[in-house]
Structure 1
């Protein structure tokens, strides 16, 4: 069940704006939102993240974000 526009129908800019907003509001939702609000937030984030990955299967991966990179830090 989508709680908004189907992510596949969003423009790239709209999708990224929604993702940024969801990531910015995650902690507040976790700490102060109802169980339903948290579940909806989680579901929408997952929908948008999956759409991003579908559109960008060859996205750049920062070597520092990999296990070996983390060990070197």
Structure 2
């Protein structure tokens, strides 16, 4: 069962809002959701993140988020 608007049809603001909501609710779903709820959450997160990466393949990468940046800290 898939819910929500197809990720490719979301405007950027809606995509960002949906991603933020999913990331904010992930731990609660993991800890307290049913197996079906967790599977749906995972599926929707994958859909939205895949769409984000499709739209922004050259997204800015924070050097602090790379191994070299972590080692430098």
What range is the shorter-chain TM-score in? over 0.9
Query: Can you give the 5+ residue segments of structure 2 that lack an aligned partner in the other structure?
Result: none
Is residue 20 from structure 1 mapped to residue 9 from structure 2 by the alignment?
no
CA contact (8 A) 2:22 2:45 kept: yes
RMSD between superposed Cα atoms in Å: 1.0
Q: What is the count of residue pairs matched by the alignment?
A: 73
- Secondary structure of 1:61's counterpart equals coil
Query: Can you give the 5+ residue segments of structure 1 that lack an aligned partner in the other structure?
Result: none
User: 1:27-46 maps to which residues of 2 (within 5 A)?
Assistant: 27-46=27-46
Q: Which runs of 4+ in 1 moved over 6 A?
A: none
1:13-51 Cα distance to aligned partner (Å, 9 max, x none): 000000000000000000000000000000000000000
When normalised by structure 1's length, the TM-score is 0.96
Matched residues in 2 for 1:70 and 1:3: separation?
Answer: 38
User: Hey, what does 2:69 align to over in structure 1?
Assistant: 69
Matched residues in 2 for 1:43 and 1:52: separation?
Answer: 14
Matched residues in 2 for 1:49 and 1:8: separation?
Answer: 11
